[in-house]
Amino acid sequence: MVETVRVRFAPSPTGLLHVGSARTALYNWAFARHHGGVFVLRIDDTDPERSTDENTAAILDALRWLGLDWDEGPVAGGDHGPYFQTERSESYAGALATLKETGRVYPCFCTPEGLAERRTAAGGAWNGYDRVCRGLDPADTAERIETGEPHVWRLAVADDPPDIVFDDAVRGEMRFPGTAVDDFVLVRSDGTPTYNFASVVDDATMRITHVIRGDDHLSNTPKQIVVFEALGHDVPVFAHMSLIMGTDGKRLSKRHGAASVKAFREEGYLSDALVNYIALLGWSIDDKTVIVSRDELVEHFVLSRIANNPAVFDVEKLLWMNGVYLRDMEADRFRDIMVGELERAGLTDATDAAARPEWYGELAALVVDRTKTLNDLPGLVGFLFTDEVVVEEDARAKILLKEGAGAAIVAARETLELVDPFDAERIEAALRGLPERLEMKSRLVFQTVRVAVTGTTVSLPLFESIALLGRGPTLARLDAALPLTTP
Ligand code: GLU
- The pLDDT tens digits of the residues spanning 56-114 come to 999 999 999 999 999 999 999 999 999 999 999 999 999 999 999 999 999 999 999 99
Which pLDDT score, from 0 to 100, does residue 145 have?
Answer: 96
- The pLDDT tens digits of the residues spanning 267-297 come to 999 999 999 999 999 999 998 999 999 999 9
Where on the phi/psi map is residue 240: left (φ > 0), alpha (ψ -120 to 50), or beta? Answer: beta
Q: By percentage, how much of the chain surpasses pLDDT 90?
A: 90
- Ligand 1: which of 18, 23, 44, 238 to mutate, judged by most atoms within 8 Å of the beta carbon? 44
Which pLDDT score, from 0 to 100, does residue 89 have?
Answer: 96
Which pLDDT score, from 0 to 100, does residue 67 have?
Answer: 98
Q: Say if residues 452 and 391 touch (Cβ distance below 8 Å).
A: yes
Q: Say if residues 277 and 19 touch (Cβ distance below 8 Å).
A: no
Kindly state if the Cβ of 391 falls inside 6 Å of ligand 1.
no
Q: What are phi and psi of 242, to 5 degrees?
A: -75, 165
369: buried, middle or exposed (CB in 10 Å: 19+, 13-18, 0-12)?
exposed
Distance CA 208, CA 196 (A): 15
Residues 6+ apart with CB under 8 A from 384: 363, 465, 468, 469
Fold of 88-241: Rossmann fold (3.40.50)
Provide the residue count of the chain. Answer: 487
Side-chain-side CA neighbours of 3 within 13 Å: the count stands at 10
Kindly state if the Cβ of 456 falls inside 6 Å of ligand 1.
no
Side-chain-side CA neighbours of 133 within 13 Å: the count stands at 25
- Span 422-443, average pLDDT: 96
Kindly state if the Cβ of 265 falls inside 6 Å of ligand 1.
no
- The whole model's pTM is what? 0.92
DSSP annotation string for 79-128? TT---BGGG-HHHHHHHHHHHHHTT-EEEE---HHHHHHHHHHTTTS-SS
Q: Where are the domains of the chain?
A: 88-241, 329-383, 386-487
Distance CA 59, CA 17 (A): 5
SS3 of 379-444: the string is HHHHHHHCCCCCCCHHHHHHHHCCCCHHHHHHHHHHHHHHCCCCCHHHHHHHHHCHHHHHCCCHHH
Q: By percentage, how much of the chain surpasses pLDDT 70?
A: 100
Question: Taking Cα atoms as reference points, which of 217, 234, 213 lies closest to residue 225?
Answer: 234
Kindly state if the Cβ of 28 falls inside 6 Å of ligand 1.
no
Q: Say if residues 2 and 37 touch (Cβ distance below 8 Å).
A: no
Cβ atoms within 10 A of the Cβ of 461, count? 13
Which pLDDT score, from 0 to 100, does residue 48 have?
Answer: 85
- The pLDDT tens digits of the residues spanning 445-457 come to 999 999 999 999 9
Q: Considering 100, 250, 254, 441, which one is annotated as catalytic?
A: 254
Given a cut of 90, is residue 257 above it in pLDDT?
no
Which pLDDT score, from 0 to 100, does residue 1 have?
Answer: 58
Handedness of CA 206, 212, 216, 219 (dihedral sign): positive
Given a cut of 90, is residue 254 above it in pLDDT?
no
Kindly state if the Cβ of 44 falls inside 6 Å of ligand 1.
yes
Could you confirm whether 254 is annotated as catalytic? yes
Given a cut of 80, is residue 2 above it in pLDDT?
no
- Span 312-339, average pLDDT: 96
Question: Taking Cα atoms as reference points, which of 61, 66, 18, 20 lies closest to residue 269?
Answer: 66
| Helix/strand/coil for 153 | strand
Kindly state if the Cβ of 217 falls inside 6 Å of ligand 1.
yes
Ligand 1 centroid, distance to 88 Cα (angstroms): 16
Ligand 1 centroid, distance to 154 Cα (angstroms): 21
CA-9 nearest atom, ligand 1: 8
Architecture of the CATH domain 386-487 = Orthogonal Bundle (1.10)
CA-21 nearest atom, ligand 1: 4
Handedness of CA 318, 295, 59, 191 (dihedral sign): negative
- The pLDDT tens digits of the residues spanning 110-168 come to 999 999 999 889 887 777 899 999 999 999 999 999 999 999 999 999 989 999 999 99
Question: At what angle are helices 442-454 and 462-469 packed, to 10 degrees?
Answer: 40
Kindly state if the Cβ of 447 falls inside 6 Å of ligand 1.
no
DSSP annotation string for 272-322? HHHHHHHHTSSB-SSSS-----HHHHHHH--GGGB-SS-EE--HHHHHHHH
Q: Say if residues 151 and 145 touch (Cβ distance below 8 Å).
A: yes
CA-213 nearest atom, ligand 1: 8
Given a cut of 80, is residue 467 above it in pLDDT?
yes
- The pLDDT tens digits of the residues spanning 189-236 come to 999 999 999 999 999 999 999 999 999 999 999 999 999 999 999 999
Distance CA 387, CA 390 (A): 10
Question: Taking Cα atoms as reference points, which of 149, 175, 153, 161 lies closest to residue 103?
Answer: 153
Helix (H) or strand (E) holding 355: helix 350-355
Mean pLDDT, the chain, as a whole number? Answer: 95
Distance CA 118, CA 430 (A): 92
